[in-house]
Amino acid sequence: QKEVEQNSGPLSVPEGAIASLNCTYSDRVSQSFFWYRQYSGKSPELIMSIYSNGDKEDGRFTAQLNKASQYVSLLIRDSQPSDSATYLCAVNSGYSTLTFGKGTMLLVSP
Amino acid sequence: NAGVTQTPKFQVLKTGQSMTLQCAQDMNHNSMYWYRQDPGMGLRLIYYSASEGTTDKGEVPNGYNVSRLNKREFSLRLESAAPSQTSVYFCASSETSGLNEQFFGPGTRLTVL
């Protein structure tokens, strides 16, 4: 049974701070990793993909992958109230489907 | 370019009624997926279609059927709705199954009384 674990939160950070969201996965053969943002009442929106160990930066977002530790994280720099949402980690294990974590709720206070 | 579209947006059914949720994508993607999302349960895969002409069961297929009508369209049918099927249903698509990113439709909020 492939598992993806996330802290449910809420993670509360002040505006302008760095938000750090973490995800661990159980399947060692996992090959690709995704972060989705989901606003309340909306559908998941893909914000980052990462396939290799290390960091990948896109604007204020940085995804970090450590396959040896089976750990993937998302950093959000200069957090804004508009970043308040639930962040879903998803992992592909070489098959046809993704396994999703249950998500971490992020609250950014002005 | 509308991406992934779903109809209807909202639906209320009585126990035992049937309905079909429609999904279409205009990104020329090969793979399509149906998920349900319930509070505290996260996204759970119901069925998927890795390519036109194929369908496979996901984690929670019981009570559902699917049809991959063509490359663009993938429908989900509830033959005899039950209150346990009250949920938000999302359709998604990806260029190929496996490594590629999935893109989601806006969802259908279904209530079964």
Partners of A14 in the β-ladder: A109
Give, as one character, the DSSP assignment of residue B101.
Answer: P
Residues 6+ apart with CB under 8 A from A84: A106, A107, A108
Determine phi and psi for A81, rounding to 5 degrees: -55, -30
B53 in contact with A, Cβ within 8 Å: no
Q: Which of B43, B68, B87, B100 to mutate to test the interface with A (most CBs of A within 10 A)?
A: B43
Q: CA-CA distance, B87 to B112, in Å (whole number)?
A: 9
Consecutive 10-residue averages of pLDDT for chain B (113 residues): 94 97 96 94 93 92 96 97 98 81 97 97
pLDDT at position B106 is 98
Angle at B106 between CA B104 and CA B107, to 5 degrees: 95
List, for residues A67-78, the tens digit of each pLDDT value.
999 999 999 999
List, for residues A2-57, the tens digit of each pLDDT value.
799 999 899 999 999 999 999 999 988 888 999 999 999 999 999 999 999 999 99
More confident residue, B20 or A97: B20
Peptide bond into A110 cis (omega under 30): no
Contact flag A34-B103 (C-beta cutoff 8 Å): no
pLDDT at position A94 is 64
Residues 6+ apart with CB under 8 A from B39: none
Q: Is A59 exposed, middle or buried (0-12, 13-18, 19+ CB in 10 A)?
A: exposed
